[in-house]
Amino acid sequence: MRVVSMDEQGRGNPFQETFERLRARRWEMARTDAKERIARLEKLRRTIIERREALYQAIHADFRKPSAEVETTEVLMVLSELDHTIKHLAKWMKPRKVGTPVLLTGTRSEVRYEAKGVVLIMAPWNYPFQLTLAPLVAAVAAGNCALLKPSEKTPKTAAFIDQLIRDTFDPAEVTVVLGGAQESQALLELPFDHFFFTGGPKVGRKVMEAAAKFLAGVTLELGGKSPAVVDDTADLDAAAERIVFGKFLNGGQTCVAPDYVYVHASKEEAFVTKLRERVESFYGNTEEARKATPDFCRMVDDGQFRRVNGLLERSVASGVRVAVGGTVDATSRYIAPTVLTDVKPETPIMEEEIFGPVLPVLRYERLDDVVRHIQAGTKPLAMYIFSRDSKNVERLLSETSAGGTCVNTTVVHLSNADLPFGGIGESGVGNYHGEFGFRTFSHERAVLRQGPLSFLGTMFPPYTEKKKKMQRMATRLFE
């Protein structure tokens, strides 16, 4: 579809016609069976596989993301979601029979899954392919029509997605709108049946307001300062390796990246040494080698670079120590994989989600202090616990709240389609992946069927003494 500018469209909402086209098809899509929906998903799968090289090039052009990371965090994640959905969709779509209470003897009940209608999927720039296509898989599986709005910060990838969708779906079923904040605002003024947004809390609130105006469903996948805790029993080699991987993947621009690490004071020096060793083994032994490596991507734009670099500069000025990295280059939007020590909760780097390749390390003496700090902040999208002490693990799980948690690893919980992915509070509303995504884009409709045998007549007026007696007898069943 040709993207028309706001000025060219003239007065009125520029996407009203696009929306109406989708809405006109929504009942036809809702009536499709599992075989028809699977056929659409299989076509999408084939097209992605055919064009993966072009996708590598598009994302690299946007922010120099390595092809290996594109393969594992973008292509593989979407293909895995597709395969899991194709395998299980027929089962998910079947009406689910539920029990019948004694008072409703003679009836039978079930839960049916019906499409919500026309859904809006607004995607971010950090995983521009995965976080557009994975929700789409769920939306199509549930029988919806969908409008996709990729991020303008990754224009090459957005153009790739636009072409991919036009070559895969009927534009009356799935379509793409390109553009920036102005186009996004126009879309939020349309009465979608479900709004799905991945991004930051500030825009997330606007999306929730738009959904509230239409009393529509909403899913918000946001972020937050996801903590990692390394206690005095942890395997330091494993903890350092997995935290460095999760933190610096995608240049730190990952919503579930470990934002900061609390390490027991007795293990801090050894742990920081392990972090340095892992940064060197992953990206190069020197600052020059790390800047030259093709395996580390860049900040997506100048604004992102300035924000993260500003947090880094203010933190260093406040007295923290740069244990690893610290090198920056504004021309190429490069910020080196960086580890900071002597960090306090009031250090500038702790003010907001970093969303970049800077890892603050805080020391602790008592686990009570860690628990209090996490409880005092907003609920994060993820939490990572490194420990061999099951009591410490259980305490952190039971006394904190997070969208998801990994024990002795980081970020990989996203790749299990049998786990829900989503936040809580400031980190999000709702979840998806696998069957959870199918349910997110479905309405669970309660259906009760009355058979020839019924005791409901005892509840109908006129309320004779006989009926009152029977009603009292029924009540006693619950006393």
Do residue 259 and residue 291 come from a single domain?
Answer: yes
120 within a domain of the structure (yes/no): yes
Q: Which of 221, 241, 268, 426 is catalytic?
A: 221
294's tokens? 């093709």
pLDDT at 455: 75
Q: Which residues pair with 335 in a beta bridge?
A: 328
Whichever domain contains 95, its CATH number is 3.40.605.10
Place of tokens 């009356």: 172
- Sorting pLDDT into bands at 50, 70 and 90, what band is 9? very low
Residue 210 lies in a domain: yes
pLDDT at position 195: 98
**Contact 142/438 with Cβ under 8 angstroms?**
yes
In this prediction, residue 6 has a pLDDT band, given cuts at 50, 70 and 90, of: very low
209 falls within a domain: yes
Residue 225 has pLDDT above 60, yes or no: yes
Question: Is 242 found in the same domain as 302?
Answer: yes
Give per-residue pLDDT as tens, 148-201: 999 999 999 999 999 999 999 999 999 999 999 999 999 999 999 999 999 999
Structural domain count, the chain: 2
Please report whether residue 1 resides in a domain.
Answer: no
Claim to verify: residue 274 and residue 184 sit in the same structural domain: no
**What's the average model confidence in pLDDT over 407-431?**
97
Q: Is the pLDDT confidence value at 10 over 60? A: no
Q: Distance between CA 25 and CA 313 in Å, rounded? A: 53
305 and 380: one domain? yes
Domain assignment present for residue 74? The answer is: yes
For the beta carbon of residue 359, count every other beta carbon within 10 angstroms: 30
pLDDT band at 260 (very low <50, low <70, confident <90, very high): very high
| pLDDT tops 90 at residue 372 | yes
Domain for residue 350, yes or no? yes
Decide if pLDDT at 374 tops 80: yes
| Domain identity same for 206 and 242 | no
Q: Which residues of 110-132 are buried (b: 16+ CB within 10 A; e: fewer)?
A: eeebebbbbbbbbbbbbbbbbbb
Same domain, 49 and 121: yes
User: What pLDDT score was predicted for residue 46?
Assistant: 98
What tokens does 336 get?
């080196």
- What global pTM score does this model have? 0.94
- What is the CB neighbour count within 10 angstroms for residue 463? 11
Q: C-alpha distances in angstroms, 236 versus 68, 156, 273, 283, 308? A: 26, 40, 10, 19, 27
Asked if 415 and 80 count as a contact pair (C-beta separation under 8 A), the reply is yes
Checking if the pLDDT of 466 tops 80, the result is: yes
Residues 404 and 437 occupy one common structural domain: no
Mean pLDDT in residue range 209-228: 97
Q: Do residues 192 and 310 both lie within one domain?
A: no
Same domain, 375 and 437: no
SS3 call for 461: coil
Catalytically annotated residue among 69, 81, 145, 255: 255
Say what the pLDDT of residue 283 is.
98
- Map tokens 């029979």 to a residue: 97
For residue 470, being part of any structural domain is answered with no
The reply to whether 261 and 378 lie within a common domain is yes
In order, the DSSP letters of 388-439 are S-HHHHHHHHHH---SEEEESS-SGGGG-TTS-EE--GGGEE-EESHHHHHH
Which tens digits make up the pLDDT trace of 17-61?
999 999 999 999 999 999 999 999 999 999 999 999 999 999 999
> Is residue 64 located within the same domain as residue 125?
yes
- 167 lies in the same domain as 25: yes
255 is known as an active-site residue: yes
**Range(s) of the domain holding residue 380:** 227-422
Q: What's the mean pLDDT in 109-113? A: 98
In a domain, 462, yes or no: no
Q: Tell me, what CATH number does 306's domain have?
A: 3.40.309.10
